[in-house]
Structure 1
Amino acid sequence: MKIKFSNDFWWGTAISGPQSEGSFEKKNDSIMDYWFKQNKEDFYNFVGPSVASDMFNQYENDIKIMASLKLNSYRTSIQWTRLVKNIMTGEIDEKAVEFYRDYFTKLKEKGIVTIVNLFHFDMPIELENIGGWTNKKTVKLYAQYAENCFKLFGDIISHWATFNEPVVPIEGCYLYKWYYPKIVDFKKGIQAGYNTILAHAKAVNIFHKIFENDKSKKICSILNLTPAYPKDNKPENIEAAEIRDLIFNKSFLDTMIKGEFPSKLVKLFASEDLLPEYDSEELAEIKKSYIDFLGVNYYQPSRIQSRLTKWNDKKEIMPEKWFENYEWPEKRINPHRGWEIHPKTLYKIAIDIRDNYNNIPWIVSENGMGVENEDKFLNKENQIQDDYRIDFIKEHLYWLNKAIDEGSNCFGYHLWTFIDCWSWGNAYKNRYGIVSLDLLNNKRKIKKSGYWLKEVIENSNEIEIDEDLVK
């Protein structure tokens, strides 16, 4: 069968500043930089973020590769710790401005629309030392940083994002000890989440004030959505899945599109004395903020059931007080990453946005497949034959295309990622790029998937899909 996307559909890739640029010439450390210096053993093969994919030095060549693949869009992020010389005063580093202006200009010259994100997990360590997102001072300094970015680069960049996956630092830093400072405190996490939403709202309102007369300028937030499927239709399992959805998805989705917190979530947190510190002025700021489009990162759903044993109230309260994960026996797993592969959930997300979120324009801002030891798929020409990635993409595009045909307002698809990049904790264990990176010499080589995507674009966005692949 064949599917086709519109001629103006966005095809591109996503990456982040801290995972691609490296820390060359930065004046400040993020929590990731600091964490690596303190605990190298926490990182796969002891590989830290200092060099990353070396895009700080090789961005011109990388942009040429993007252009050669006919990609028309791209997402990256500004590193707060690079742009700002003095985190506490907001003083700008002019060398960083020169770097980003040249980077973004060269993308624009190649006809590549760039979405610039302001925050991708890389909290400055100076701010983490005063509580990070739990501290309202961080909110104020983020708003100042955002305003500087809009003014410094707004003549080049038309599309912006406030945050990438804002729930992940909450999970990683305050719940499950994935990331420094590895705190386990749900109430602090809720405060950090609330303050993140407030910071987002302040940045969005500043943005719309600066660009109120320029409708070509648009701003979004990028959310990783993990829809919760209940084990079955029993009321207790449906309720458990709904609570999981409220905490991890709708807490950000509803506030950033509708400007208000889900009432059921507020009641739930109030019943446990978990509500954050807030005031009416802040709620008004959140209410009046609006995004022009939505970025959706989709990798896997969640499978949920009600608790099999009652929560021990003597333990530190966690989201799992109200639900447990359920191992669906039919699920298909990416064995390298341990994540479920379920492309049809992308259709579910698309229809939910259509029906429950004003059919807001949106883009798949990340989707991709991480694979370990990809060198074993090299052919005689030293090219990685990643047919598994091509099939993964095809499956997701089939369901996305179906949703678009049914009226969902999706205008693009970005793969994670352009080039194999450094990942928090996992370093280079799982490779996601359509371009491979040789860690010994930083050389790049386009994988089979990169050339496949180029063929799709050259073939007027038409894709041939084996029906057996999407049964």
Structure 2
Amino acid sequence: MKELVLLVVLLLVSVGTTLEKEFNDRYHEDQQIETEEYDFYNFTLPSDFHLGVSSAAYQYEGAWDEGGKGESIWDRYIHTYPEAIADGTNGDVAADFYHKYKEDIKRVKDLGLDTFRFSIAWPRIMPTGLIDSVNQEGIDFYDDVINEVIKNGISPMVTMYHWDLPQYLQDLGGWTNEIIVDYFEDYADVLYSYYGDRVKLWLTLNEPTKGVDGYGGNVTGLGYAPNVSAAGIGTYLAGHTMLKAHARAYHLYNNKYREFQKGRISLALETFWYEPQDSNSESDHEAALQAIEFNLGWFANPIFSKEGDYPTVMKKRIAENSYQEGYLKSRLPQFSTEEVKYIRGTADFFGLNQYTTNRATFGENGPSPSYTRDTGVTLVAPSDWPASETSEWEKIVPKGLRKVLNYIKDRYGKKWEIVITENGFIDDGEIMDSQRIVYIATYMIEMWKAMYIDGVRVVGYMIWSLLDNMEWTSGYRSRSGLFHVDFYHPDKIRTPKKSTELVKTIAKTRRIPEKYVDHVKELDQLEFHNYS
């Protein structure tokens, strides 16, 4: 049996090398990023461009045990391990959006934005996650939210799953159990049937690469819910199930709802951009590409590529590592030919969450087995790149967004429209949030360049986030909102930050104020490879 696995690995190496050379040649040729002066005032955002803000149920709503809601994996996890959260807090109340949604939706309107992205909590709709537990109070709550959004002249963009799996389903194995595909289809069916007449933009999953972290990404202790210690195994099993669940929800919509609801469906995929550690090293160039294939490509390739299935480099490396570790087959599950076809093309646009950039070089990290070790890449965030004072991982590298957008166009084809479903900045919550202002303006300018110079079909941009919120394991120490929230006041008082003025200006004029172009020029002085 091991001989058979070795043969498969050798075949993948051969195919992978050929494809990698062809891809590198094409990518290097296509990635001509122009740097000439550009008059941004020649263009404004199109009238049908989606400009808005994003949010998520667990991070915003609170009311964790109100209105018939069931327990989620994050409820169970934080109540069991409060020490997992940096400041010892939880999302039991969070920003109290559950009771304040009307005033918060009004804030979106007052900013002049046209789209509000929010997620629906699966356990609020189905406390156990099963079709026989539909909760009418939960149905009514989101019905009211959607109606309020539309009443304010805003388009709802709804995420079905933003990591808050019903605990009952986790007791069955969670995303590592493929029975969840059936249950997710039932859940999607309920959402389409109740809300599809008004919701025209759906995201099935948010950041599945992070959503699987709780099934094996926590290699050093407490991390993300549900905190299952199955590094290098649970991560891939959960991801495999998520891809099947996404495809099932997409086909359900196609077969049952699309003809008369006429909505659009995708999922929100997150990625850093990766630069070579040494811009003169061909090896580091390959490491940077390998990093993005393991991150973005893990879930994008099966859906958006012409060939479908996982990236070749993932299949090759994980099979090779699995064999060396004594496994009889790859830890990365395989799709059948029929499954590859079923999953491929199951999106109407490309949803992208993008925040920052890292440098990459080849190197072995993490325990064996683990996803980190399988990537075969060491990531380094240069200390001289500007960064958030609160979150060192978030370097302010706006050109990275342009690079990712071009990568998607070149790797997956020009036909895909892209909605930037999250882009935002973390700080400590100051009202005069000057770093956030520069961040939003400069990243939007790079988006502009991708649209008007490079021909990338970007059709939407969502700022993370409207409000300060429960930032998962960081608790309330990390703040990402356009509005400050006083989490220690019983009324969770909201105060607009300085960045709201910038957002209002952009929303009104559909342009970036010219003064921020100089900030882009300054940030462009960072050593940065153009793949030219």
TM (norm. structure 2) is 0.82
Correspondence for 2:500: 450
Match of 1:251 among 268, 291, 298: 298
1:356 CA displacement: 2.5
Q: In structure 1, give the amino acid aligned to 2:435.
A: Y
Correspondence for 2:396: 341
Q: In structure 2, give the amino acid aligned to 1:270.
A: A
The answer to whether the 8 Å contact 1:90/1:145 transfers is no
| Secondary structure at 2:118 match in 1 | strand
The answer to whether the 8 Å contact 1:28/1:124 transfers is yes
What is the CA–CA distance in structure 2 between the aligned matches of 1:387 and 1:211, rounded to whole Å? Answer: 45
Q: In structure 2, give the amino acid aligned to 1:396.
A: Y
Q: In structure 1, give the amino acid aligned to 2:225.
A: Y
Correspondence for 1:47: 89
The answer to whether the 8 Å contact 1:5/1:462 transfers is no
What is the CA–CA distance in structure 2 between the aligned matches of 1:400 and 1:210, rounded to whole Å? Answer: 36
Correspondence for 1:261: 310
The answer to whether the 8 Å contact 2:468/2:483 transfers is yes
Correspondence for 2:380: 326
Correspondence for 1:274: 331
Question: 1:65 and 2:103 equivalent?
Answer: no
1:370 CA displacement: 1.0
The answer to whether the 8 Å contact 2:68/2:135 transfers is no
What is the CA–CA distance in structure 1 between the aligned matches of 2:347 and 2:130, rounded to whole Å? Answer: 28
Match of 1:195 among 233, 236, 241: 241
Task: Show the 5 A alignment for 1:71-90.
Answer: 71-90=113-132
Q: In structure 2, give the amino acid aligned to 1:291.
A: A
Question: 1:179 and 2:221 equivalent?
Answer: no
The answer to whether the 8 Å contact 1:187/1:276 transfers is no
Match of 2:406 among 336, 346, 351: 351
Correspondence for 1:468: 518
What is the CA–CA distance in structure 2 between the aligned matches of 1:126 and 1:432, rounded to whole Å? Answer: 31
| Secondary structure at 1:12 match in 2 | strand
What is the CA–CA distance in structure 2 between the aligned matches of 1:172 and 1:400, rounded to whole Å? Answer: 32
1:108 CA displacement: 0.9
Q: In structure 1, give the amino acid aligned to 2:249.
A: A
| Secondary structure at 2:259 match in 1 | coil
Correspondence for 1:379: none
Match of 1:400 among 422, 447, 463: 447
Match of 1:363 among 419, 424, 428: 419
Correspondence for 1:152: 194
| Secondary structure at 2:266 match in 1 | strand
1:93 CA displacement: 0.5
Correspondence for 2:346: 290
What is the CA–CA distance in structure 2 between the aligned matches of 1:358 and 1:26, rounded to whole Å? Answer: 45
Identity %: 26
Match of 1:434 among 458, 475, 482: 482
Match of 1:414 among 462, 467, 471: 462
The answer to whether the 8 Å contact 1:372/1:430 transfers is yes
Correspondence for 2:135: 93
Question: 1:221 and 2:267 equivalent?
Answer: yes
Aligned residues between the structures: 458
Q: Deviations over 1:258-316 (max 9, x none)?
A: 343223322322222223165444334213x4211121111112321112xx679x943
Q: Which runs of 5+ in 1 are unaligned?
A: 375-383
Match of 1:300 among 327, 342, 356: 356
What is the CA–CA distance in structure 1 between the aligned matches of 2:59 and 2:157, rounded to whole Å? Answer: 16
Correspondence for 1:16: 56
CA RMSD of aligned residues (A): 2.1
Correspondence for 1:165: 207
The answer to whether the 8 Å contact 1:227/1:249 transfers is no
Q: Deviations over 1:133-173 (max 9, x none)?
A: 11011121111111111111101111100111010022343
The answer to whether the 8 Å contact 2:95/2:492 transfers is yes
What is the CA–CA distance in structure 2 between the aligned matches of 1:148 and 1:456, rounded to whole Å? Answer: 37
Distance 1:79 1:300, change over 3 A: same
Task: Show the 5 A alignment for 1:108-119.
Answer: 108-119=150-161
1:212 CA displacement: 3.3
Question: 1:124 and 2:162 equivalent?
Answer: no
What is the CA–CA distance in structure 2 between the aligned matches of 1:311 and 1:372, rounded to whole Å? Answer: 30
Structure with greater proportional strand content: 1
1:419 CA displacement: 0.9
Q: In structure 1, give the amino acid aligned to 2:284.
A: N
What is the CA–CA distance in structure 1 between the aligned matches of 2:270 and 2:290, rounded to whole Å? Answer: 17
The answer to whether the 8 Å contact 1:231/1:328 transfers is no
What is the CA–CA distance in structure 2 between the aligned matches of 1:327 and 1:460, rounded to whole Å? Answer: 33
Correspondence for 1:378: none
The answer to whether the 8 Å contact 2:215/2:231 transfers is no
What is the CA–CA distance in structure 1 between the aligned matches of 2:468 and 2:165, rounded to whole Å? Answer: 23
| Secondary structure at 1:346 match in 2 | helix
What is the CA–CA distance in structure 1 between the aligned matches of 2:50 and 2:131, rounded to whole Å? Answer: 38
1:60 CA displacement: 0.9
Q: Which runs of 5+ in 2 are unaligned?
A: 1-38, 323-329, 522-532
The answer to whether the 8 Å contact 1:90/1:141 transfers is no
Distance 1:264 1:270, change over 3 A: same
The answer to whether the 8 Å contact 1:90/1:144 transfers is no
1:13 CA displacement: 0.4
1:460 CA displacement: 4.2
Correspondence for 1:381: none
What is the CA–CA distance in structure 2 between the aligned matches of 1:50 and 1:213, rounded to whole Å? Answer: 40
Distance 1:215 1:408, change over 3 A: farther
1:386 CA displacement: 1.7
Correspondence for 1:380: none
What is the CA–CA distance in structure 2 between the aligned matches of 1:373 and 1:39, rounded to whole Å? Answer: 26
| Secondary structure at 2:348 match in 1 | coil
1:318 CA displacement: 4.0
1:385 CA displacement: 2.0
| Secondary structure at 1:115 match in 2 | strand
The answer to whether the 8 Å contact 1:386/1:448 transfers is yes
1:344 CA displacement: 0.2
| Higher alpha-carbon deviation: 319-328 or 58-67 | 319-328
Match of 1:5 among 31, 45, 57: 45
